[in-house]
Amino acid sequence: MKLGVLCSGGKDSLYACGCAMEREEVACLITVRPANEESYLFHTPNVSLVALQAEAAGLPLVAVDSPGEKEEEVSDLRQALIIARERHRIEGVVTGAVLSVYQATRVQRVCHELGLWCFNPLWHTDQEAYLRSLIRRGYVAIIAGVFSAPFDASWLGRRIDEAALANLKAYAERHRITLTGEGGEYETFVLDAPFFTKRIAIEETCPEYRNYRGMYRITRARLVEK
Amino acid sequence: MILLVDLCYREGSLGYEEFVLPVARIVEKAGHAVRAVHYRAGPGTVPDDAVAVILCGTPLADTTFLSGLENFSWLADVRVPVLGVCAGMELICRVFGGTVGPGEEIGMTEVTVLAPDPLFAGRESFPAYELHTLACTDPGPLRVLAVSDQCIQAVRHPDKPVYGVMFHPEVRNEWVVERFLSLAGEKRINP
């Protein structure tokens, strides 16, 4: 089955892409770039760099810009899927949805309307086991944004490794955050994945942080040999 | 051991992680061992060590299981409690003489319990996650336990400990699976 993977650039969508590649044919990455950083449906930090991830994975990219306004986001998603279906003959869509019924419901409805299958391989996954697998399989995911206490500025750009996971587990116990950031507590960006032929090297960043909210904006990056 | 039956279009599909593993996690958390089999790979009978069976859901576009009803003839003579989830309920409906037709719900809906049953632990209504384009349009001999404003949401066989739920209990209603396992363990839902 030819599939398109909805990709925000974060760990969940890239990991879901890896799962899909093991079972089916991934024909393209699909990304919706919201202008609004408070997007309800799409994750925002560094989404413009998904093009580098697509190149690293050797996959074509379907990218649609969206104003990022609540219900219109669904129309933008529909437009992106229509383009992917026409251009790459996809029969289904893969997402990295973990717990969000809001996100899953909207993607499921659009896929159904367009006659596309919809797969969510991380749906209600064991979050700790998933993060361990992400680390073990060699995904290099960094924290691209923090949006809640107790994350301080030192988290911006930090790689999710065993030490970070231990800290996240402690935060989950003490501050009731979700381990995977599913509650919007943090966002990630993937620099390397097992199926990338090259990795992303960050050359310049512009981090911003204030009062438990921060973004690790990557202003210049390029692909380098692994 | 609780037997989980994967109803997805092929063994090892991407639907396994989405529809079988979340149920497996609930079952394991409740202290039971789990064995998952694809419906085409099963021996055609329930293994002796299975104390209950859960028929798991499928992706929205996947109704392949309905064109292979011969794979489920074992259900008619099943001796252990069975819970069918979404696709599993459609299957139970067909196997026991009901009909399945168009009936679409995607997202959260309100489920209203019509007939008191130990499975719902006294609840009269609750919100539930739906993901189906087909529904049980005529339950045949099955008892209707709950409905939404769109379709039948839960059925039970009149003589056998066989249940079907149209909603996905693994999303926000894990208690339904836990309740089923508890009742199955206590043999309180055996005829």
Q: Judge whether residue A35 has pLDDT over 80.
A: no
Provide the domain limits for residue B39. 2-186
Contact at CB, A118 and B59, closer than 8 angstroms: yes
> What domains appear along chain A, each with residue ranges and CATH number?
2-119 (3.40.50.620), 127-225 (3.90.1490.10)
Per-residue pLDDT tens over the stretch B14-60: 999 999 999 999 999 999 999 999 999 866 788 889 999 999 999 99
Residue B129 is assigned to a structural domain of this protein: yes
Q: Is B168 a catalytic residue?
A: yes
Sign of the dihedral defined by the CA atoms of residues B183, B185, B186, B187, in that order? positive
Residues A25-41 have a mean pLDDT of 79
Instruction: Kindly report the average pLDDT of chain A as a whole number.
Output: 93
pLDDT at A114: 98
pLDDT at position A37 is 62
* pLDDT, tens digit (0-9, with 9 covering 90-100), for B155-168: 999 998 899 999 99
- A81 contacts chain B (CB < 8 A): no
pLDDT score of A94 more than 80: yes
Please indicate, yes or no, if residue B44 is contained in any of the structural domains: yes
Q: Can you list the pairs that A157-165 forms with residues at least 24 positions away whose Cβ atoms lie under 8 Å?
A: A157/A202, A157/A205, A157/A207, A157/A216, A160/A11, A160/A131, A160/A134, A160/A135, A160/A188, A161/A135, A162/A135, A165/A128, A165/A131, A165/A132, A165/A135
B111, part of any domain: yes
Are the Cβ atoms of A119 and B18 closer than 8 angstroms? yes
At residue A69, the pLDDT reads: 67
Q: Is the pLDDT of residue A38 over 80?
A: no
β-strand B125-138 against B82-85: which pairing, if any? unpaired
Q: Is residue B191 part of a domain?
A: no
B119 min Cα distance to partner chain A (Å):
23
Which positions ≥6 away from A17 have C-beta within 8 Å? A5, A7, A26, A29, A57, A94, A193, A195
- Predicted pLDDT of residue B190: 47
Specify the number of domains making up chain B. 1
Q: Rounded to the nearest 5 degrees, what angle is found at the Cα of B171, between the Cα atoms of A26 and B94? A: 85
Q: What is the largest CA-CA distance in chain B?
A: 40
Residue B106: inside a domain, yes or no?
yes
- If you search the block for the tokens 């199955």, which residue do you land on? B184
B157 in active site: no
Mutation to test the B interface, candidates A118, A127, A128, A130, most B Cβ within 10 Å: A118
Please give the pLDDT value at position A70.
66
Rounded mean pLDDT, B139-152: 98
Q: How far apart are CA A221 and CA A200, in angstroms?
A: 7
Say if B116 falls within a structural domain: yes
Contact B14 A109 (CB under 8 A): no
Alpha carbons A223 and A218: distance in angstroms, whole number? 13
CATH of the domain at B150: 3.40.50.880
Distance separating alpha carbons of residues A213 and A225, to the nearest angstrom: 33
Tell me how close the Cα of B174 comes to any Cα of chain A, in angstroms.
11
Give me the catalytic one of B86, B93, B136, B151: B86
Residue range A62-93, pLDDT digits in tens: 999 887 666 678 899 999 999 999 999 999 99
Write the ipTM: 0.93
Whether residue B41 lies inside any domain: the answer is yes
Residue B115 located in a structural domain:
yes
CB contact under 8 A, A105 and B59: no
**Token pair for B147:** 């409905």
